[in-house]
Amino acid sequence: MYENDFEQAIQHFEEALAIEPDNADVHYRCSITCARSNRLDRALAHARLATALAPLQEEYKLHFDRMQSKELTVMAKRLLEGDTAGSSVNKEGVVVPALRLLERAAQLDPLSVDSRVWLAIAYAELEQYELALNAVQEASALPQDDVIAKQLAELEQRIRKYMD
């Protein structure tokens, strides 16, 4: 009915929620649609509500965990990409908090290739190359497309160069 028309689907979910604000299933489905349209804040809010309204629904909890993982990964990525000063003191002050966010993200969503890739990058920034390599290998073991598989292989090669 709303195939790939996420905006219209979100609008209809929100209309349904105006009528039934405590409907966990509608919050859950709205969250999925928001996530597909890259509206992470709204996806997270609806996932949180779905889980709060129906705490025994395991699929709602898993989805909420995935949304939290995405949020933590985005936060860590911003920290890592914003580190342009280059001094080792500043680097640790930025990379270590990003690393903690990414470790939690990987716990929340064990199937997240993205969190593991950024985890590898953070470990490499701290010159913890064995841990970086492990993170890349864990990401490589997860399902992904050919483009990501190639990027992971390149990242692994770069890390191995640093190890030598």
Residue pLDDT, tens place only, 87-106: 444 677 899 999 999 999 99
Q: How far is CA 38 from CA 54, 87, 119, 146, 148, in A?
A: 24, 34, 22, 22, 19
Q: Which helix (H) or strand (E) holds 49?
A: helix 40-53
How many other CB atoms sit within 10 Å of the CB of residue 86?
7
Q: Is the pLDDT of residue 2 over 50?
A: no
Residue 159 binned pLDDT confidence (cut-offs 50, 70, 90): very high
Distance between CA atoms of 68 and 45, rounded to whole angstroms? 10
In the chain, what percentage of residues exceed pLDDT 70? 93
1 within domain boundaries: no
Q: How many structural domains is the chain composed of?
A: 2
Q: Is the pLDDT of residue 107 over 80?
A: yes
Looking at the fold, whether 31 and 85 belong to one and the same domain comes out as: no
Domain final residue, candidates 56, 76, 94: 56
Express each pLDDT in 59-94 by its tens digit: 999 999 999 999 999 999 999 998 544 444 467 789
Looking at the fold, whether 77 and 153 belong to one and the same domain comes out as: yes
The pair of structure tokens assigned to 57 is 């629904």
CATH number of the domain encompassing residue 109: 1.25.40.10
Looking at the fold, whether 85 and 140 belong to one and the same domain comes out as: yes
20 within domain boundaries: yes
b/e 128-141 (16+ beta carbons within 10 angstroms → b): bbebbbbbbebbbe
131 within domain boundaries: yes
Looking at the fold, whether 42 and 102 belong to one and the same domain comes out as: no
* Structural domain span for residue 101: 66-163
